[in-house]
């Protein structure tokens, strides 16, 4: 009797422990026979369990996985069959799935969730360019391997142009877009909803439609109530914006794929990759050149931009010695950037003080223009916050709001003394706003380096490394 539970025999592989099973398939860990003993995952599909729809899904899964090669998509190495089963030989991912990873930590820090999101987005962009929709995105179908994530289980995936619609229910209700259930018509945009649910669960430990029963779940899915973040949620402005735009019930007003890929929270430009170090080195060489030429402000800006690529380069590097050497080098650049920051701040403050009388004149000349006066007061509030040490996004928002109004006023202002003063004030405020933006970027980069050290330590104790 026990033999009926033994793994099936496969000519070139030794199947060992069972990793999981579903309606049509069971997945085993296996080793390739021979000298290298390569570890793989073998998905065993019983032919007896397959109906017509399941056969079509399996053929599509094989077709898709045989044609795609991407660092964040599980690779199909081969497939075989015998009288009883079809075998998909897949890349082995040692870290388990994202669902288990989230449960083991309850919630993920925003920076870790963001790094994972970048990898998911990178894979989705690759699929989207080829008109492939996954249609079953959920943490259980995202595997951890080494430094990253890999999308897996393409059993429901389809070739879908942006205008193609489907009506067959696919996926798991907890991660299923509302239009799948409510309209019974859907398109590729359902993947964006699922990404939103995954990000929500990573940050808050539960899905937005988490329920005690299927009836309660269905009621939440069919409701018209907008998705809200948990009370007291502490996430960044960009993270909040992306979450609420992904989790829009109406696909016509949901964020688009192009908007998602270019969203500042996703920021694919700065995701860890093989190109990160080259970009960082190119920018830092220019920073050193400007620094030596005495162009402090430009040098500071370039150092900060370089740091935005150096930090992903540290995350991407797997060799411990090279990683530590990179950290030391980055610390040197951070120290120099801090020195430049103090010098540039002094220069900016001196220039701002020198222009004080002109600013006072501009304010007096604007008494008959309430909107212009209000914008100048907004700018003054931003300066006050910055001078008090509040170098944050709220201060940057004040600068950007005031500059938006002042630029509109400048466009409508006729030639004359007030226009000259307004033009000068806008230039001064832009300099301060750019300086503040660089400080925020540098602070975030330093935090990222610290986080990398924490995660590197944690990875020693964990089967999954996320540094």
Domain chopping of the chain, boundaries: 2-91, 98-270, 276-461
Comparing 50-59, 103-112, 403-412, 414-423, the range with the smallest average pLDDT is 50-59
Q: How confident is the model at residue 352 (pLDDT cuts 50, 70, 90)?
A: low
For the cut 80, the answer to whether the pLDDT of residue 72 exceeds it is yes
Residue 138 has which token pair? 């959920």
Which residues in 396-413 are b (16+ Cβ under 10 Å) and which e? bebbeebbebbeebbeeb
For the cut 50, the answer to whether the pLDDT of residue 360 exceeds it is yes
pTM across the whole model: 0.76
Q: How many CB atoms lie within 10 A of CB 330?
A: 22
Residue 37 has which token pair? 């003993």
Catalytic residue among 136, 191, 291, 452: 136
Domain 276-461 listed as CATH 3.55.40.20: no
For the cut 60, the answer to whether the pLDDT of residue 317 exceeds it is yes
Main-chain phi, psi angles of 193, to 5 degrees: -60, -45
* CB contact at 8 A, 174 and 212: no
What pLDDT shows up at residue 285?
95
Main-chain phi, psi angles of 142, to 5 degrees: -125, 115
The torsion angle over the Cα atoms of residues 319, 320, 326 and 329, rounded to 10 degrees, is -150
For the cut 60, the answer to whether the pLDDT of residue 1 exceeds it is no
For the cut 60, the answer to whether the pLDDT of residue 60 exceeds it is yes
**For the segment 269-291, what is each residue's pLDDT rounded down to a tens digit?**
889 888 999 999 999 999 999 99
**For the segment 410-420, what is each residue's pLDDT rounded down to a tens digit?**
998 899 888 98
Average pLDDT score over residue span 302-313: 89
The question of whether 319 is a catalytic residue gets the answer no
For the cut 60, the answer to whether the pLDDT of residue 346 exceeds it is yes
* CB contact at 8 A, 139 and 99: yes
2-91 CATH choice from 1.10.10.10, 3.30.70.2740, 3.30.200.20, 2.40.50.1020: 3.30.200.20
Nearest residue to 118 via CA among 312, 294, 329: 312
Average pLDDT score over residue span 236-251: 93
User: If DSSP states are collapsed to H, E and C, what string results for the chain?
Assistant: CHHHHCCCCECCEEEEEEEEECCCEEEEEEEECCCCCCEEEEEEEEHHHCCHHHHHHHHHHHHHHHHCCCCCECCEEEEEECCCEEEEEEECCCCCEHHHHHHHHCCCCHHHHHHHHHHHHHHHHHHHHCCEECCCCCHHHEEEECCEEEECCCCCCEECCCCCCECCCCCCHHHCCHHHHHCCCECCCHHHHHHHHHHHHHHHCCCCCCCCCHHHHHHHHHCCCCCCCCCCCCCCHHHHHHHHHHCCCCCCCCCCHHHHHCCCCCCHHHCCCCCHHHHHHHHHHHHHHHHHCCCHHHHHHHHHHHHHHHHHHHHHCCCHHHHHHHHHHHHHHHHHHHHHHHHHHHHHHHHHHHCHHHHHHHHHHCCCCHHHHHHHHHHHHHHHHHHCCCCCHHHHHHHHHHHHHHHHHHHHCCCCHHHHHHHHHHHHHHHHHHHHHHHHHHHHHHHHHHHHHHHHHHHHHCCCCCC
What pLDDT shows up at residue 462?
40
Burial grade of 199 (CB within 10 A; 0-12, 13-18, 19 or more): buried
Nearest residue to 448 via CA among 290, 298, 267: 267
**For the segment 206-227, what is each residue's pLDDT rounded down to a tens digit?**
988 887 777 888 788 888 888 8
Nearest residue to 122 via CA among 254, 266, 5, 333: 266
β-bridge partners, 39: 31
**For the segment 379-391, what is each residue's pLDDT rounded down to a tens digit?**
889 888 888 888 8
What pLDDT shows up at residue 302?
92
For the cut 90, the answer to whether the pLDDT of residue 191 exceeds it is yes
β-bridge partners, 29: 41
> Which superfamily does CATH assign the domain made up of 98-270 to?
Transferase(Phosphotransferase) domain 1 (1.10.510.10)
Q: Measure the CA–CA gap between 433 and 436, rounded to whole angstroms.
A: 5
Residue 312 has which token pair? 């992903």
Main-chain phi, psi angles of 312, to 5 degrees: -60, -35
For the cut 60, the answer to whether the pLDDT of residue 452 exceeds it is no
Residues annotated within a binding site for ATP? 43
Q: How confident is the model at residue 10 (pLDDT cuts 50, 70, 90)?
A: confident
* CB contact at 8 A, 46 and 85: yes
């Amino acid at each position: 009797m026990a033999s009926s539970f033994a793994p099936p025999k496969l000519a070139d592989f030794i199947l060992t422990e069972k990793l999981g099973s579903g309606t049509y398939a069971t997945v085993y860990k296996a080793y390739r026979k021979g000298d290298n003993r390569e570890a793989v995952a073998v998905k065993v599909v019983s032919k007896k369990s397959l109906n017509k729809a399941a056969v079509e899904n399996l053929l599509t899964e094989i077709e898709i996985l045989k044609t795609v090669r991407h660092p964040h998509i599980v690779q199909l190495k081969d497939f075989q069959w015998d009288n009883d089963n079809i075998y998909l030989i897949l890349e082995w991912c040692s870290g388990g799935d994202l669902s288990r990873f989230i449960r083991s930590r309850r919630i993920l820090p925003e920076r870790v969730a963001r790094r994972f999101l970048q990898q998911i987005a990178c894979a989705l962009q690759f699929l989207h360019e080829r008109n492939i929709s996954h249609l079953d995105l959920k943490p259980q179908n995202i595997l951890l391997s080494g430094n990253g994530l890999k999308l897996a289980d393409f059993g429901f995936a389809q070739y879908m142009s942006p205008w193609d619609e489907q009506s067959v229910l696919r996926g798991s209700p907890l991660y299923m877009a509302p239009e799948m259930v409510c309209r019974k018509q859907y398109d590729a945009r359902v993947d964006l909803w699922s990404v939103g649910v995954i990000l929500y669960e990573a940050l808050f430990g539960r899905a937005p439609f988490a329920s005690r029963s299927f009836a309660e779940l269905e009621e939440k899915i069919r409701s018209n109530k907008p998705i809200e973040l948990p009370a007291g949620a502490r996430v960044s402005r960009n993270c909040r914006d992306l979450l609420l735009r992904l989790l829009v019930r109406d696909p016509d007003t949901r964020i688009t794929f192009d908007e998602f890929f270019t969203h500042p929270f996703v920021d694919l430009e700065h995701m860890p990759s093989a190109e990160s170090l080259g970009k960082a080195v190119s920018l830092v060489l220019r920073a050193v050149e400007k620094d030596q030429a005495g162009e402090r402000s430009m040098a500071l800006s370039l150092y900060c931009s370089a740091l935005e690529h150096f930090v992903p380069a540290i995350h991407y590097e797997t060799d411990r010695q090279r990683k530590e050497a990179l950290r030391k080098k980055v610390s040197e650049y951070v120290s120099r950037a801090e020195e430049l920051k103090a010098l540039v701040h002094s220069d900016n403050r001196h220039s701002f003080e020198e222009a004080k009388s002109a600013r006072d004149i501009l304010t007096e000349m604007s008494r008959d223009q309430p909107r212009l006066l209000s914008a100048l007061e907004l700018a003054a509030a931003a300066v006050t916050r910055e001078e008090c040490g509040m170098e944050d996004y709220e201060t940057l928002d004040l600068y950007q709001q005031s500059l938006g109004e002042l630029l509109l006023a400048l466009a409508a202002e006729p030639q004359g003394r007030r226009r000259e003063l307004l033009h000068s004030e806008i230039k001064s405020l832009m300099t301060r706003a750019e300086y503040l933006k660089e400080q925020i970027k540098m602070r975030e980069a330093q935090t990222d380096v610290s986080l990398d050290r924490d995660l590197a330590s944690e990875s020693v104790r964990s089967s999954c490394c996320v540094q």
